A and B are shown apart, each in its own frame.
Chain A
Amino acid sequence: MRITDKMALDAARVGQSRAVQQFTDASRVASSGLRVNAPSDDPVAWSMKVRHDAQIQRMNNRSHTLNRAGGDLDLAESVLASAGDLLEEARSLAVQAANGSVDAQTRSNMAGQITSLRDALLGFANTRGATGYLFGGTATATAPFTAAGVFTGNDTAVPVEVADGVTARSNASGATAFTVAGGRDILADLQAFATALTGNNLGGIQTAIANMEAGHRQLVTAQVNTGIGAERLHSSVDVTAAALISVSSARASETEADATEAFTALSVTRAGYERAIAVTRELLQVSSVRR
C-alpha cells in the first residue's frame, strides 16, 4: 500500500486521541474512585446501584425509626418498673395498715402517703417520649390520664416496620398497664385504698392488699411485654445494620473502582499516551523534506 504523510500522521493522531481518551477515563476512575459514574458506563451496574441506594436508604431510615421507637419503649419499660416499685410500696403500706394495732390517726396519715404514691403513678402514666405520650396509644398529643385517673387514650398499636412487610408494635400499652383492660384500674385502686385508710375501713384495707398485689403483677407483666417489644426492635436494628453492611459492600463492588486496578490502569494508559506522543514526534522528525 502506498503510504502518504497524511496517512501516517492521521494514524498517529487517531492513536494519540485514543490514548488520551483512555488516560482521561483512567484518571477519572482513579480520582473519583468510581467505576460507574453514568448509566452508559455500565447500565447493569447502574441499575444495581440504584437498587442498592434505595435499599441502603430504606435500611438507614428503618434503623433510625427503630432506634427512636426502641428508645421510647426502653423509657416505657423503665417507667413501668418504677410504677411497679410504687405499687410494691403501696402493698407494704396496705399490709402495715391491715395490722389491728394501727390506730385510725396512723391510717389517716398513711392515706396521705398513698395519695402521694397515686400522684406519682399518675405522673408515670402520663410520661412523654420522643413521639408524644408513651401510654396513650395513638392519642399521643394529650395526657392519657386525667387528674381523676380517667383514661382518655386508646390501646391502638403504633406499628413500625422491622423488616420488609413485617411490623411490630412500637408503643407500650397504657391501657393494659394501668387500666381495667389489664385486669385492675390501678389508679382507682389506689384512690379506693386511700379512701379506706381515711375511713379507717379495715375491710377496704384488706381488699387493697390483694388489689395492690394484682396491680403490681399487672405492671410487671406490662413491663416484661414492653421489654420484649423493645428487645425485638433493638434486635431488628442489629439485623438491619448487618444487612446494611452487606448491601453497602455489594454496592461498592458494583460501582467502586478497585484502587490497585485503577492506579495500574492509570500508569498503563499514561505510558500509552506518552508512547503515542513519542511516535507522533518521531513521525514529524522523519521526513525527506528536511534532508
Chain B
Amino acid sequence: MSSLFSLLGVARDGMQAQSSGVSVTGQNIANVNTPGYVRRGVLLSARPFGRDSNGGVSVNGISRTFSRFAHGRVVEEHGRRGAASARASALSTTEAAIAPSSGTISDRVNSFFQSLDTLSGAPSDTSARLAVLQRAGALAQQVSTTASDLAAQRDGLFNQARGVAGEVNERLARIATLNRSIAEATSLGDAGADLRDQRDQLVQEVGDRLGARAVEDASGQVTLFSAGTVLVEGGNASSVSVTLDPANNLRLQVQQPGGATTDATAAMTQGTLGGLREARDVDVPSVQAALDRFAFDLSTAVNTAHASGFGLDGVTGRNLFSAPAVAAGAARAMALNPALAGQPDRVGAAGAATDLPGGNTVALQLAGLSSRALAGGTTPPAERFGAVASDLGVRLQAANAEEQLRDETVQQAETLRESASGVSLDEEMVNLSKFQRAFEASTRVLRVADELLDTLMKSF
C-alpha cells in the first residue's frame, strides 16, 4: 500500500516530467528556424500503481519526429533543383555573352554590310573604304571576344565545379564523423537526435551539390549513395574530384577509402555538379560550335567574294578576313586580314582592273551576301547568328522552366517533411501551457501531501 511519503515522490516525478516537457518545448521553440531541426517530444509513461508504488510518471526519453521518406524526397528534389539552377544560371551568363542588351554580333553584321552597301554606291570613296575596314574589324573582334568569353566561361564553370567538389568532400567527411558519433550514442542508449539533425542536413546539402540517397542501418548510420556509387559507408567517406578529360570535358572521379578510384562522370546528372556539367559540356560547346561554324562560313564567303575584287592599287586575290583553315576555333581566330589594316586602297570593290576606280561589282556582290544564305546553312549571316542566339534562348528557357518546376517540387517535398517534422509555434504554445499547468498541479499535490503529513504529525 502506498504511503503519504510516496505521494511526495509522485509529486516530484510529476514536476520533473513537466519540467522536461517545458524544456523540450523550449528547445523546439528555440530551434524553430534552425535548418534541419526536427521537432522533439518528451516520452512520458505512467509508473505502475501497485503494492510498492503509488504510481507517478517517468521520463523515458526524447522523441525525434523524423520521416525518413519525406526527408529522402527532399534530398532527391534538392538534387534535381541543384542541377536545374546551376544550368539556368550558367546559361544566363552565356546568353549575356551571346546577346548583350546592345551591340550584338548580328548588329555588327548589319553594320558591316551597311558599310559594303555604301561602298557599292561609292567604290572610289576612301572614307567608305575605311568604314568597311573599321566595321569588318569590329565584327571580327566581337565574334572573337564572344568566343573568348565562352571559353572563359567554360574555364570558370570548371573552377566552380572544383569548388563544389571541395564542398561535397567537406560534407562527406563530416557525415562519416557524425555516423560514428551516432553509432556510439546509439550503443549507449542515446538517440543522438542533435547529431542526426546535423547529419541529415549535411545529406541534404550533398544532395544539393551532387544528388544523394541515404539508407540508414540499425545502428543509426547512413550509407550515402551518389553519382552511381557509395560516397559514405558508416564512418568511412570517399572523396570526389573534378578534373578535365583529354576532350576538355568535366570528369568526376570518386576515390574510395581503400584507395580505389571510380569514374562517376556518366552518373553526374544531379545537383549543382550535374547542372554545371550539362551547361559546360553540352550547352556551351553547342553554342561554341555554332559560333565557329558561323564565323567560318561568313569569313569564307566574304573572302571568296573579296578575293575576286581589285583594290584601287590594281591588286586582286586578297582576303578581307584572316582565312580560317577549319571551322573549329574559327570564331576565336576571326580577325581582319592584317594586310588590309589601315589600307583602304586594298579593299576589293571592282570586278576588273579596267573598272577601277568606279567599278563596284564585287562590292555589290559582297553587300549582297547579307541577303543570301551562307554556305553550310539556309539563312543569311545575321539570321544565321540569330539562330545561334535563338537556340541558346530555347535552352535557357527550358532550363528556367525546369528550375521553376524544381522549385515547386522542392517546396512540395519540404512541405511534406515540415508537416511531419517541423515545429509549430501554436502547438508549442499549447504544450507550454499544458506542461505549465501540469507542473502547477504537481506542486499542489506536493502541498497537499505536505499538509496531510503535517496534520498527521500534529495529531500525535
Contacts and interface: CB of A to CB of B under 8 A. Distances in A.
Contact of B357 (A7, A57, A58, A139): A139
Interface residues of A, number: 58
Given A39-B396, A156-B359, A160-B121, A1 B419 contact: yes
Interface string A124-165: 000000111000111111000000000000101011110011
B147 interface: no
B110 interface: yes
Contact of A138 (B358, B386, B390): B358
A40 interface: yes
A140 B415 CA distance: 80
B358 A131 contact: yes
Interface of B is mostly: helix
Contact of B393 (A11, A38, A167): A38
Interface size class of B (residues with CB under 8 A): 35 or more
Interface stretch (B165-173, B204-212, B241-249, B421-429): B421-429
B350 A138 contact: yes
Interface string B118-129: 101111110000
A47 B411 contact: no
A11 to B, nearest CB: 8
A14 interface: yes
Interface in B375-398: 380-383, 385-387, 389-394, 396-397
A5 interface: yes
Contacts of A69: 121
A98 B295 CA distance: 73
Contacts of B215: none
B15 interface: no
Contacts of B429: 288-289, 291
Given A40-B393, A65-B120, A158-B360, A5 B109 contact: no
Given A46-B390, A289-B425, A140 B383 contact: no
Interface in A1-33: 1-7, 10-11, 14
A224 interface: no
A68 to B, nearest CB: 5
Of listed B99, B110, B380, B425, residue having the most chain A CB within 10 A:
B110
- Give the top 9 A-B pairs by smallest Cβ distance, nearest first: A39-B393, A50-B386, A140-B358, A43-B393, A61-B117, A54-B382, A4-B422, A138-B358, A40-B396
22 contacts: A4-B419, A5-B32, A6-B32, A10-B418, A38-B95, A38-B101, A44-B390, A57-B110, A57-B114, A58-B370, A61-B117, A65-B121, A131-B125, A132-B358, A137-B358, A138-B359, A139-B358, A140-B357, A141-B357, A156-B358, A160-B121, A170-B121
